[in-house]
Amino acid sequence: MSELCKVFRGKGCAPGEFEGEAVVSNQPFGFWQGIDPQTGVVIDRRHDLFGTSLRNKVFVFPFGRGSTGTPGVFLEAVRNKCAPAAIVNVKSEPMIVMCALLAEAFFKVQIPIVDGLNANPRDVLRTGDRLRVNGTTGEIEILG
Amino acid sequence: MHLTDEEQRILDGASGEPQRIALSVLRKLGEAYGADRMAEITSAHVVGSSYQIAGEAGIEIYSQLVSQGARVKVLTTSDPGSIDFARWREFRTPTAYAERQIRIAELLDQMGVIPTWTCTPYTTFNVPRFGEDLGWSESSAVVFANSVIGARTNRLAAYVDVCAALTGRVPRFGLHLPECRRGEVLFELDPDLAESFEDHFFPALGYLVGQVTGDRIPVIAGVKHATFDQLKAFGAASAASGSVALYHMVGITPEARTLEEAFDGCEPAERLHVGKREIAQTIAQMSTGQGGAIDVVGVGCPHASIDQMRRYAALLEGKRVHTGVQLWICTNTVVEEMARRMGYAKVIEQSGAKLMVGTCHNDCPLGAWGFRRLATDSGKFAYYTPTTVGTECVFAGTEACIEAAITGRVEQR
* CATH 3.30.70.20 correct for A3-142: no
Q: Which of A14, A68, A97 sits opposite B137 (nearest CB)?
A: A68
Fill in the amino acid letter for B303.
H
pLDDT at A141 over 50: yes
| SS3 state of residue B358 | coil
User: Which ipTM did the prediction report?
Assistant: 0.91
Assign A32 a pLDDT band (cuts: 50, 70, 90).
confident
Record: contact A76-B157, CB cut-off 8 A: no
Record: contact B215-A93, CB cut-off 8 A: yes
The pLDDT tens digits of the residues spanning A49-85 come to 999 999 999 999 998 876 888 999 999 999 999 999 9
Closest CA to B409 of B192, B133, B401, B41: B401
Q: Are B66 and B180 in contact (CB under 8 A)?
A: no
**Mutation site for A-interface testing, chosen from B20, B21, B53, B162 by largest number of A Cβ within 10 Å:** B53
Query: Out of B107-121, B144-158, B189-203, B319-333, which region has the weakest mean confidence (pLDDT)?
Result: B189-203
Closest CA to B233 of B149, B302, B309: B302
Query: Out of A14-23, A64-73, B202-211, which region has the weakest mean confidence (pLDDT)?
Result: A64-73
pLDDT at B197 over 80: no
- Chain B residue numbers touching A37 (CB-CB < 8 A): 55, 57
Q: Which of B48, B57, B388 sits opposite A79 (nearest CB)?
A: B57
Q: Are B81 and B105 in contact (CB under 8 A)?
A: yes
Task: Please give the C-alpha separations between residue A30 and each of A48, B45, B79, B127, in angstroms, as whole numbers.
Answer: 13, 22, 20, 30
Cβ atoms within 10 Å, residue B227: 12
Cβ atoms within 10 Å, residue B409: 15
**Mutation site for B-interface testing, chosen from A98, A99, A104, A110 by largest number of B Cβ within 10 Å:** A98
- Chain B residue numbers touching A67 (CB-CB < 8 A): 139
**Mutation site for A-interface testing, chosen from B23, B26, B27, B47 by largest number of A Cβ within 10 Å:** B47
Q: Give the domains, in start order, of chain B with CATH numbers.
A: 5-178 (3.30.499.10), 182-285 (3.40.1060.10), 287-410 (3.30.499.10)
Assign A2 a pLDDT band (cuts: 50, 70, 90).
very low
Helices (H) and strands (E) in chain A, counts: 3, 10
Q: What percent of chain B has pLDDT over 70?
A: 99
Residue of B nearest to A65 (CA): B243
Say yes or no: A95 contacts chain B, CB-CB below 8 A.
yes
Write the DSSP symbol of residue A58.
E
Stretch A80-106: mean pLDDT, rounded? 94
Alpha helix locations (H) across B78-132? 95-110
Alpha helix locations (H) across B168-257? 191-194, 201-213, 228-241
Record: contact A98-B29, CB cut-off 8 A: yes
Assign B413 a pLDDT band (cuts: 50, 70, 90).
low
- pTM confidence score: 0.95
The pLDDT tens digits of the residues spanning B364-407 come to 999 999 999 999 999 999 998 888 888 999 999 999 999 999 99
| Active site positions of A, annotated | 67
Say yes or no: A65 contacts chain B, CB-CB below 8 A.
yes
